[in-house]
Amino acid sequence: MRLPSQSLSTLAGALALSATALAAETPLERGAYLVEGPAACGSCHTAPMPGAAPLAGRTLVEPAFTAEVPNITPGSRIADWSDAELVRAIREGIRPDGSVIGPPMPIMLYRHLSDSDVTAMVTYLRTVPAVETKFKASTYPFPLPPAYGPPIDSVADVPREVSVAYGEYLAGPVAHCLECHSLKDGMPDLDGHLGGGGHTWEGPWGVSVAANLTSHEDGLADYSDAEIATMITQGIRPDGSQMHPPMSYRHYAYMTEDDVAALILYLRTLPPIPDGG
């Protein structure tokens, strides 16, 4: 997976507003914040080239398969889907024609997105610049599951505050931090390897290794909160070294201070796992 380097600056205004005027935030502002910030939909749906049209799709090459990540701007076929159909596609991975969305779209985590957050995302997606492309289907070298679980009626909001619970919601359902940082033998292991890191990605930048985010000394134990915040939002470690893709810090740069604080509170609670454990 590769990181985009597209400019997100056009959204800076709306996002700054959502950071300061939380109480008065509209669904559109909330959706813009989630999609461009912590959810980082563009880290997969935008081509990793400077100037690439945001959310207009790209081909993503993984070791085990190649995915055609679709265009999700209003110039794509999703313009013909109702809001409820789009919510179902994002949260359950099932399209209106009944077909199932394949990896690496993190559906298992998106299943826990709250009704108001997933609806806000849809509201925002309807407003991004339309780019017209022809839909290309992915071909996976393995069968997709018939579904990712039973149909979802409703998911309540997790109260938006600087709490472990809200940090857990951000790290899982919203930002899928724990999908990348809990991969073991290529599969997310959220029970035995939560935040343990170790998965590697190769790209033009070289090799990057998902960091250990647990409370172990091989993980985040020796970093201050401020140091962790800088790593998440700027991709810079205390020793000055710069992180490489697919860590999506360019998107996380838009996160509010409160949301970063909640994330860190939650990461501090991850049971310790040593590197290689």
Return the closest-CA partner of residue 152 out of 90, 88, 103: 88
What is the total residue count of the chain?
Answer: 277
Return the closest-CA partner of residue 35 out of 99, 101, 127: 127
| SS3 category, 59 | strand
Neighbours of 35 (CB within 10 A): 25
Contact between 247 and ligand HEC per CB under 6 A? yes
Contact between 275 and ligand HEC per CB under 6 A? no
Q: Which of 114, 123, 214, 248 binds ligand HEC (CB under 6 A)?
A: 248
CB of 50 to ligand HEC, least distance (A): 19
Return the closest-CA partner of residue 19 out of 188, 258, 182: 258
Contact between 112 and ligand HEC per CB under 6 A? no
Whether 13 contacts 257, CB under 8 Å: no
Per-residue tokens: 182: 């809990």
Q: Which of 53, 78, 194, 261 binds ligand HEC (CB under 6 A)?
A: 78
Among the listed ranges 25-33, 155-163, 185-193, 207-215, the one in contact with ligand HEC (CB under 6 A) is 207-215
CB of 102 to ligand HEC, least distance (A): 3
Contact between 213 and ligand HEC per CB under 6 A? yes
Contact between 47 and ligand HEC per CB under 6 A? no
CB of 271 to ligand HEC, least distance (A): 16
- Could you list the beta-strand ranges (E) of 111-263: 183-184, 187-188, 200-203, 206-209
Return the closest-CA partner of residue 131 out of 74, 69, 46, 49: 74
Contact between 234 and ligand HEC per CB under 6 A? no
Q: Which of 19, 56, 87, 89 binds ligand HEC (CB under 6 A)?
A: 89
Q: Which burial class, exposed, middle or buried, applies to 85 when counting CB atoms under 10 A from its CB (0-12, 13-18, 19+)?
A: middle
CB of 20 to ligand HEC, least distance (A): 21
Among the listed ranges 7-15, 126-134, 157-165, 171-179, the one in contact with ligand HEC (CB under 6 A) is 171-179
Whether 104 contacts 59, CB under 8 Å: no
Q: Which of 6, 18, 43, 73 binds ligand HEC (CB under 6 A)?
A: 43
Note the residues at the interface with ligand HEC (CB under 6 A): 1, 35, 38-39, 41, 43-45, 67-70, 72, 76-78, 86, 89-90, 95, 101-102, 104-106, 121, 135, 138, 171, 175-177, 180-181, 201, 208-211, 213, 228, 231-232, 237, 243-244, 246-248, 252, 263
